[in-house]
């Protein structure tokens, strides 16, 4: 059983806040934020009044979607993993993350609570609209720093809560998720989907173990796992870090091309990706090489292209396992689907699949 903590905004008290933010909270107001952005959690901004307290903080709690919790979150330990990241790994991660005031997970109930720095004074971009090239370069530089710091690190082995894709139950759970989600995904986002991609979707569950095995071959590094525009906050003043990254619940051990393939295929509009994809890939490889890491271009190319094919799973599971609660959420999964398909096609990623 974890430490006692609120399971939702209605359970937050001034005493609990005062204990963790380092001052005396006299009162607070609550506003839900991030609706349609965070797919597996609820986010709230708390405006604080009191002595020596921040003006606001962010509280994160489990989703109310019991199906998503049962079929996605709990089998893959997403909530416990994010809590462990903030408690054990954030301090050694070169990408800035929000200050954490409180992070705890109850293994018995599966509930968790995070109390984090409010990044509302940073610039957040709309993933549906897509990432500008200037912002994409900042994001690539940050992922180079993350990957280089943890490249083949012995510490990865000492933190078993950071899984490799190939470790059970990951392949088995993900294959099951996709198979269950696929019919619903076809209903929501299948209009105009070509036969090749419908065939790919039909075959996808039997390919999961192959994807997982390839993504887990050494050398591996610490990957964010959900490195997309909705999770990136860009600095706007000299006091801000260029980039601060949130939502670490899908972090994993994988090859570096995984985060890159995921980010570029999911966070840029198709037009911008086609224009800037080569430059961004070259920027990553140059950055890794400048850190003294040997990552052959051919190996990166295979990892990157294979990941663009793998990313087909994300809009499918987001549609089929997570309740679509509003129009922004619906547009997000449609955009994810369209971008995934176009990236697969442009990179000839289906050609890499085993026969």
Residues above pLDDT 90, as percent of the chain? 78
At 178 the pLDDT is 94
> Residue 38 pLDDT > 70, yes or no?
no
In the block, which residue shows the tokens 């209605």? Answer: 10
Residue 314 confidence class, pLDDT cut points 50, 70, 90: confident
The 10s digit of each residue's pLDDT in 123-167 is 999 888 899 999 999 999 999 999 999 999 999 988 999 999 999
> Residue 349 pLDDT > 60, yes or no?
yes
Could you tell me which residues come within 8 angstroms of residue 290 by beta carbon, excluding any fewer than 6 positions away? none
> Residue 2 pLDDT > 50, yes or no?
no
The 10s digit of each residue's pLDDT in 196-253 is 999 999 999 999 999 999 999 999 999 999 999 989 999 999 999 999 999 999 999 9
Residue 103 confidence class, pLDDT cut points 50, 70, 90: very high
Structure tokens belonging to residue 199: 């065939």
């Amino acid at each position: 059983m974890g430490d006692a903590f609120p399971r939702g905004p209605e359970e937050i008290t001034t005493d609990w806040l005062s204990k963790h933010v380092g001052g005396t909270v006299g009162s607070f107001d609550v506003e839900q934020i991030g609706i349609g952005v965070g797919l597996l959690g609820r986010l709230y901004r708390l405006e604080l009044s009191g002595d020596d307290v921040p003006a606001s903080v962010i509280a994160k709690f489990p989703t109310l979607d019991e199906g998503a919790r049962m079929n996605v979150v709990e089998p893959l330990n997403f909530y416990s993993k994010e809590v462990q990241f903030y408690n054990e790994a954030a301090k050694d991660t070169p990408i800035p993350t929000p200050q954490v005031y409180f992070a705890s997970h109850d293994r018995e109930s599966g509930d968790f609570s995070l109390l984090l720095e409010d990044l509302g004074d940073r610039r957040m971009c709309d993933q549906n609209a897509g990432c500008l090239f200037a912002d994409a370069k900042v994001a690539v530089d940050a992922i180079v720093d993350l990957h280089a710091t943890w490249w083949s690190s012995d510490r990865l082995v000492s933190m078993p809560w950071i899984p490799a894709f190939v470790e059970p139950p990951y392949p088995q759970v993900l294959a099951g998720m996709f198979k269950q989600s696929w019919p619903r995904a076809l209903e929501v986002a299948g209009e105009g989907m070509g036969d090749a991609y419908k065939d790919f979707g039909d075959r996808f569950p039997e390919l999961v173990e192959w994807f997982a095995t390839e993504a887990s071959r050494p050398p591996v590094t610490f990957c964010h796992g959900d490195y997309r525009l909705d999770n990136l906050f860009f600095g706007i003043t000299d006091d801000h870090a260029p980039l601060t990254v949130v939502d670490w619940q899908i972090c994993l051990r994988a090859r570096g091309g995984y985060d890159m393939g995921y980010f570029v295929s999911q966070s840029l509009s198709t037009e911008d990706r086609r224009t800037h994809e080569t430059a961004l890939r070259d920027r990553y490889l140059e950055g890794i090489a400048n850190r003294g890491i040997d990552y052959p271009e051919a190996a990166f190319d295979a990892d990157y292209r294979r990941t663009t094919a793998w990313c087909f799973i994300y809009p499918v599971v987001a549609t089929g396992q997570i309740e679509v609660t509003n129009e922004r959420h619906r547009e997000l999964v449609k955009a994810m689907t369209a971008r995934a398909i176009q990236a697969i096609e442009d990179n000839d990623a289906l050609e890499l699949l085993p026969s």
